[in-house]
Structure 1
Amino acid sequence: MADIDLPSDYVAYPESHVLIAGHFLVKDTYQTKRQAGMNDWLITFTLDGEGYFKTGDEHIICTQGDVTILRPTVPHQYGTSRGKTWHFFWAHFSPELFETNYLSDKRLVNLTIENEYIRNRINQSFEKLIQDYRERQRYWYELCELSLKEILLLIAQRQEQALDSRIEEVLHILSKQMKDSISINKLAKSVNLSPSRLSHLFKENVGHSILDTLKQMRLNQAALLLEHTDRSASEIAYEVGYQNYNYFAIHFRKRYGISPREYKKNPPTNRT
């Protein structure tokens, strides 16, 4: 993407119930200063380069993978760091659009997204947000709200969840490859840890072992499929990663108190 100046339709102070978004690659001449703050929220996601934010005595630097959130009414200044370029997504949204009490109450938040999966997900949500904002086809506004809501919830999740980024990656792999055989050695290699260190760190973060967590994922999915699909219990056992139905049935009964076939005939929503 080539260097750009501010677009002609850029709005610094959105009116009530307005959401705007964009994608900038700007040199160190780019700077915005608002002594009285603004009426809306501002969120940025740095793709590359370096930017900065100043609010009173606070001065933060934004680099690749950083999400920055500025609350309304906070006097501030932000721009590209001297001698750098700053490549970032941004969005302004008025306070009336969302419940934001799940976000930090700090005036300025800078959060580094270390987990590659979450970083990619935020990136994709911003791309959808900007695309829908620019194209403005039918329901564009509602689609923009959905994309921004996803970004904000992912950020709130990161703030509340103190998981090691490597454990987050392992959980993502487990959920994505739940049907496959899982090798602790391969998982450890994927996050640059030894198998013993991964096992210890995982239990420390999650509270359960890797294999127990995988088992719970499989059983949760099995219960969902039993309740909401026409597949047989044996088909579902295979679908969630069990090669032996009897082994699956034993684990299922321990978890839910009844056999998979009984569960299918009388799922929780139908029980009195």
Structure 2
Amino acid sequence: MTYFPDYFKTYPNMNTSSPLHISLNTLPRGFRPHRHDFLEFSYVIDGIGSEAINEKKHPMSPGTFTFVLPYQVHEIFTTEGSPLQLYNCNFSMELLMEPGTGEGLHTMIDLGGDVPYVQLSGTENDRMKGLIEDMFREYQGNQPWRQTMLQLRLKEILVLFDRARTRSQPDIAETSSSRKGASLWPIIHHIHKHYQDDLALSDLAQQFSMSMSRISELIKETTGQTFVHFLRDLRIRHACGLLASTDMSVTEIAMEVGYGSYKTFSRVFRESRGLTPKDYRKLKGSQLPLPH
């Protein structure tokens, strides 16, 4: 049985219509091995250290930009006497998809496992630093169109990263497609795109010309969850965001996230979150800490 270190399932601002959080952190002693089911980028502005992603280590110094995929085990090491100061941004995969089309920056996820970082310098580094600093200021503020600006900055940042790593390793696409896990991300993306539908393993098997057992095995190996639990978590997370940020009725939300009846949705939500959807909304409204 595969062992996975700490598993983080939440981050600030996750249950909103714009699930993104950016922070500036100082790590005097690194950070323990962990994984999570959301995307993350980091950008070093000071200090020296290294990072291991799925046991592959790379150096970290000012200008290092790292793109961590969901479920990848990663750990940060700090060089003694040189604390790492870095920006960390956590965000949902849905922010890489264009509304209504399923297109977008999600395609770079296929390549992220092979080339997870770049070392930026010169004008390219200045541009990246400026974009991230602007994104951080926007996140801390409350200006009109704040969410739109944050999502635009996120896309600019990731495009700049993708261009930099493609220049440094022009054969990146060919290298990535030959890896064992490369075929999983189109499946994960398809689930993210269609989890509101009546989705079954048999649908995925037909869509991707693979056996149901193989797809089930890939999902379990990568996420640590069965297909059923993975699909349930996506639906419940979407429901949490709608409960927290809209006036939709609970019945409407149940239908929106893929449940045919309020009764089923309420039961599954309570099993997952420990309280009913209505109680979850009340707690959010009273600004009390929410269970995760």
For the pair shown, the structure with the greater C-alpha radius of gyration is 1
Tell me the TM-score normalised to structure 2 length.
0.46
Report 1 or 2 for greater relative contact order, CA contacts < 8 Å, sequence distance ≥ 6. 2
Tell me the TM-score normalised to structure 1 length.
0.50
